[in-house]
Each structure stands twice: as structure tokens, then as C-alpha cells.
Chains A and B, each alone.
Chain A
Amino acid sequence: QVQLQESGPGLVKPSETLSLSCSVSGGSFGSYYWTWIRQAPGQGLEWIGYVSRSGTTKHNPSLKGRVIISLDLSRNQVSLKLTSVTAADTAVYFCARGDWNYNFFDAWGQGALVTVSS
């Protein structure tokens, strides 16, 4: 049974870079892609982007190129960096496993709350 666990600073200052890691255990990297999804307080879900085993990435255009997602197979970790953050980036950030063929997310981490504030 695959398990995902997010970690990283819970507080980031405006204009700085948000950095999170997602540790993956109990599953294979090969047949899936690895995605980040966020949820602002009291709001719905927003897809941020994904990385594949081969390193291919795609991100939500609404985030205007501020997203960097990477994969470290040696450490079984997926990373997210979001640059030039503002208060609007305050959210719970989830990592999730995505199905290549049908784009559903069948395993999720518990989420990490990141607050952007000075």
C-alpha cells in the first residue's frame, strides 16, 4: 500500500520560495505520475502540476511559471517549489499519485499547511 507524506516549513514570508517534499513509500514510481494539489482555507481543490518518473513536468498555467516540481528517485521523494509567494498561496498542499491513462489520483498524502505571512 503506497503511502505519501508531505513535509516542509509551515510559514513562508511573502516574495520568498515555498518548498515542500513528499516522501513516497510502499509503491512503484514507474507506472504513475506525481502531482501537487492545494486547497486554500475553506476553498476547493486546485491542481498545481505533476512530474513523471522520467522527469517530465507540467504545471497549471494560472501559476504563471512560479512552479518547479522535481523527482528524486534515489530518495523516493517528490519536491515542490513555488516562487514569489503571496498571501494567496496560503493553503494546504497535498501530494498525490496520478494515473497516466485516466488522470485520477488514487493515493494522497495527509497534506501540509503552508501560511504565507511576514
Chain B
Amino acid sequence: QSVLTQPTSVSGAPGQRVIISCTGGPSNIGAGQDVHWYHQLPGKAPKLIIYVNSNRPSGVPDRFSGSRSGTSASLAIAGLQADDEGHYYCASFDLSLITSLFGGGTKLTVL
């Protein structure tokens, strides 16, 4: 069981907006540690899509946005497209474990 909790799956129709949540605790997100988001396609390496809570690396569309509040963070994907499918992972740092950690991952299905 991950220290960062994500829904197992989310889905949406093309063009819709979905939100993926990431719930942590007082030693990671709640302690002000930054949250990052990765997208992984089957058989591929994860790709950074949001860093430091809300920043997009070059080349990531502005349909992707992130936020952090309290002990949680969220990733919003607007205007869903078929190639948005895959797994999404949140990540942060835990001050008690002194390790980087990942959420369990959320599978996004575009209907």
C-alpha cells in the first residue's frame, strides 16, 4: 500500500476533463513537499508531465495542469485525447522515510 494514495482508475470521453487525486500525509505533501506527476504508457518509461506541483516541462500541452493543497495534490487533464491513456503516477518526498515515493498509479481510459 502506497503512502501516496491515488484512485485505481479514472475514465472520460474525448474532449472531457478528468481529475486525478493524490492524497499524502503530514510527512510528505502535508509538510510542504512538492508533488510531481508522471505519465507511463505500456512498456515504456514514465515521462515527467508536471513538476513542482504545477509546472509543465517543455513540450507538455497546457491541457495538463497540477495543483497542491494541504495533504493532497491533483492532476487535471482537459480536452481528453486518445493518447492520454495510460498510467499516471504522483510522486513526492517523505521527510520521515527520507525517501522519494510514488503513488500507486491511476489508469486513465479514454472512452
Contacts and interface: CB of A to CB of B under 8 A. Distances in A.
Interface in A75-118: 94, 98-99, 102-106, 108-111
B78 interface: no
Interface in A25-46: 35, 44-46
Contact of B105 (A44, A98, A109, A110): A44
Nearest to B6: A44
Interface string B42-79: 00111110011000010000000000000000000000
Nearest to B104: A44
Contacts of A13: none
Interface of A is mostly: strand
Contacts, number: 60
Given A103-B93, A104-B51, A106-B51, A47 B45 contact: no
Interface in B7-60: 33-34, 36, 38, 44-48, 51-52, 57
Contacts of A60: 99
Given A94-B45, A108-B45, A111-B45, A102 B2 contact: no
A35 B33 CA distance: 19
A66 interface: no
Given A44-B102, A46-B102, A61-B98, 4 more contacts: A47-B101, A102-B36, A106-B48, A111-B45
Name the 3 nearest CB pairs between A and B, nearest first.
Answer: A108-B45, A104-B36, A45-B102
Interface of B: 2, 33-34, 36, 38, 44-48, 51-52, 57, 89, 91-93, 97-105
